[in-house]
């Protein structure tokens, strides 16, 4: 697996680490459990990192030196792709030919590396975009920076070169075909999963006590990377609107924001805190740094509603994790979120990003105990439809079908 710009060993929820890191670490671990060895190549960001680290039995992470031993912005990474590719090719050259069977690249920067390695090694390339520049640019938050044309071109090249493309949802599969000209038969739709052993329902009271939050509070939570695309500001505006409508909530409402700055959000890391002050909800808003799995479970269990107000989301792991913990989700009706959340069953989908619409949706779930109970029960059942085992089954199918068509292609070329 190629994961140039972020390592599955990093804590997700800030910077470049998010759902893709979880995806790689979960699917690689599941493959290894089935006897398939996985090596994940990622760029070394510190001289303290060992050249090779074990993520789980059967899963190695290789830190490839490419550029300075420090984090680089995504705009700086394309200049390091030659160095990275050279590191990947040299690693393989230490082995007998035929050491790797399949390359799975994650995100377009890795796809650029994978395309060359595929030709050198004579093995198929399977690519997952995770996000697409054309889709992101069509749904930008006000004032957010568009993805550059170089990325669009890079993605188009990978779509043309990869043997198989993995899309998170049918919507993304259509985007690959319609916007990028992918061959429909090359696209596999594979739902991401959720760790159903970790994300389980549990005592709300205990979770609140552990977080130091009052048992009778009305808690709205957001978890994820803090950047305009994820729109945590929409939640703050909505909370302020709820308070205007019902001032008696002032002593009970808590807005919990979990995560750290990322992407264009890094330019103004304090912006969300300043917004809470401007909106007069500083007292109701709590910020927590990115939380590792078990602590995140506490956050989901403590919340009455988890909000996912993103302008775009190719799937939305947070939405499924929260539901697996028995918490209804109010999400924007964009990208993969209508798959992750069953509207009116396990949560609500909001077609706009207007504060009053969000305030109405959040209140209708958080402040109506009967409805909340129903949605919470359905949320657990809905989340059970997803699992990393199933994701891995489908990825292995994609690998197998890539191998067959790659083999056929090689025979054709040889003839
Ligand atoms: N996450 C985490 N700790 C945090 C916030 C988020 O571990 O404090 C994880 C979360 O469990 C989820 C991932 O980060 O698996 C975010 O994935 P999602 O698909 O929601 O968003 P993405 O980061 O891919 O945009």
Residues 6+ apart with CB under 8 A from 178: none
The 10s digit of each residue's pLDDT in 381-397 is: 999 999 999 999 999 99
* DSSP bridge pairs for 3: none
Residue 149 located in a structural domain: yes
Instruction: Kindly report the pTM of this predicted structure.
Output: 0.97
Q: Whose CA is nearest to atom 11 of ligand 1?
A: 318
Residue 2 located in a structural domain: no
User: 150 and 296 in one domain?
Assistant: no
Residue 10 located in a structural domain: no
Cα–Cα dist 27/196, whole Å = 14
User: 375 and 226 in one domain?
Assistant: yes
- Rounded to 5°, the CA angle 247-204-202 comes to 155
Nearest-atom number in ligand 1 for the CA of 310 is 25
Query: Which residues are documented as binding site for UDP-N-acetyl-alpha-D-glucosamine?
Result: 11-12, 19, 225, 230, 291, 313, 321
User: 259 and 273 in one domain?
Assistant: yes
Cα–Cα dist 145/137, whole Å = 9
Q: Whose CA is nearest to atom 8 of ligand 1?
A: 290
Query: Which residues are documented as binding site for 1D-myo-inositol 3-phosphate?
Result: 5, 16-21, 74, 107, 131, 151
Q: What is the pLDDT along the chain (415 residues), one digit of tens a residue?
A: 999 999 999 999 999 999 999 999 999 999 999 999 999 999 999 999 999 999 999 999 999 999 999 999 989 999 999 999 999 999 999 999 999 999 999 999 999 999 999 999 999 999 999 999 999 999 998 888 999 999 999 999 999 999 999 999 999 999 999 999 999 999 999 999 999 999 999 999 999 999 999 999 999 999 999 999 999 999 999 999 999 999 999 999 999 999 999 888 778 879 999 999 999 999 999 999 999 999 999 999 999 999 999 999 999 999 999 999 999 999 999 999 999 999 999 999 999 999 999 999 999 999 999 999 999 999 999 999 999 999 999 999 999 999 998 887 777 777 6
The 10s digit of each residue's pLDDT in 308-367 is: 999 999 999 999 999 999 999 999 999 999 999 999 999 999 999 999 999 999 999 999
User: 395 and 374 in one domain?
Assistant: no
Residue 62 located in a structural domain: yes
Task: Give the Å distance between the CA of 109 and the centre of ligand 1.
Answer: 20
User: 379 and 392 in one domain?
Assistant: no
Residue 139 CB neighbour total at 10 angstroms: 16
Residue 7 located in a structural domain: no
Task: Give the Å distance between the CA of 16 and the centre of ligand 1.
Answer: 11
Nearest-atom number in ligand 1 for the CA of 288 is 8
* H runs (alpha helix) in 170-222: 170-180, 204-211
User: 174 and 42 in one domain?
Assistant: yes
Structural domain boundaries enclosing 25: 19-193+388-414
Residue 247 located in a structural domain: yes
User: 113 and 26 in one domain?
Assistant: yes
User: 364 and 400 in one domain?
Assistant: no
User: 375 and 313 in one domain?
Assistant: yes
Q: Check: CB of residue 144 under 8 Å from CB of residue 271.
A: no
User: 217 and 306 in one domain?
Assistant: yes
Assign 36 to helix, strand or coil. Answer: coil
Please tell me the total count of domains within the chain. 2
Half-sphere exposure of 248 (CA within 13 A, CB side): 1
User: 228 and 179 in one domain?
Assistant: no
Backbone angles phi, psi at 112, to 5 degrees: -65, -40
Cα–Cα dist 206/94, whole Å = 53
Nearest-atom number in ligand 1 for the CA of 293 is 7
Residues 6+ apart with CB under 8 A from 119: none
Q: Whose CA is nearest to atom 24 of ligand 1?
A: 19
Residue 131 located in a structural domain: yes
Residue 161 located in a structural domain: yes
Give pLDDT, residue 406: 87
User: 75 and 40 in one domain?
Assistant: yes
- CATH number, position 29: 3.40.50.2000
């Amino acid at each position: 697996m190629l994961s140039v710009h972020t390592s599955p060993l990093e804590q997700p929820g800030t910077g470049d680490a998010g759902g893709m890191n979880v995806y790689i670490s979960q699917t690689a671990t599941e493959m290894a459990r089935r006897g398939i060895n996985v090596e994940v190549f990622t760029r070394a960001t510190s001289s303290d990192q060992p050249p090779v680290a074990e993520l789980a039995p059967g899963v190695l992470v290789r830190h490839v030196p490419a550029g300075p031993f420090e984090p680089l912005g995504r705009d700086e990474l394309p200049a390091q792709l030659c160095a990275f590719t050279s590191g990947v090719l040299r690693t393989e050259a230490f082995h007998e030919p035929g050491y790797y069977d399949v390359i799975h690249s994650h995100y377009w920067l890795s796809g650029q590396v994978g395309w060359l390695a595929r030709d050198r090694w004579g093995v198929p390339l399977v690519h997952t975009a995770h996000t697409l520049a054309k889709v992101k640019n069509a749904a930008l938050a006000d004032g957010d920076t568009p993805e550059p044309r170089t990325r669009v071109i890079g993605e188009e090249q990978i779509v043309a070169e990869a043997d198989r493309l993995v899309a998170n949802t049918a919507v993304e599969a259509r985007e690959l075909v319609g916007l990028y000209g992918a061959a429909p038969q090359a696209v596999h739709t594979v739902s991401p999963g959720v760790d159903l052993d970790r994300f389980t329902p549990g005592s709300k009271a205990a979770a609140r006590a552990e977080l130091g939050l009052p048992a009778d509070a009305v808690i709205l939570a957001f978890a994820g990377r803090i950047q305009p695309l994820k729109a945590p500001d929409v939640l703050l505006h909505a909370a302020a609107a709820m308070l205007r409508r019902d001032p008696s909530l002032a002593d009970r409402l808590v807005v919990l924001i979990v995560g750290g700055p990322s992407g264009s959000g890094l330019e103004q890391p304090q912006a969300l805190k300043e917004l809470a002050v401007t909106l007069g909800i500083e007292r109701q808003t709590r910020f927590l740094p990115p939380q590792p799995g078990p602590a995140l479970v506490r956050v989901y269990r403590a919340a009455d509603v988890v909000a996912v107000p993103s302008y775009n989301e190719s799937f939305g792991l947070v939405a499924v994790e929260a539901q697996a913990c028995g918490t209804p989700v109010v999400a924007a009706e964009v990208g993969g979120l209508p798959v992750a959340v069953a509207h009116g069953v396990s949560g609500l989908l909001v077609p706009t990003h207007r504060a009053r619409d969000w305030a109405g949706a959040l209140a209708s779930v958080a402040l109506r105990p009967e409805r909340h109970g129903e949605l919470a029960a359905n949320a657990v059942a809905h989340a059970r439809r997803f699992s990393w085992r199933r994701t891995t089954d489908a990825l292995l199918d994609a690998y197998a079908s890539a191998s067959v068509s790659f083999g056929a292609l090689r025979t054709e070329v040889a003839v």
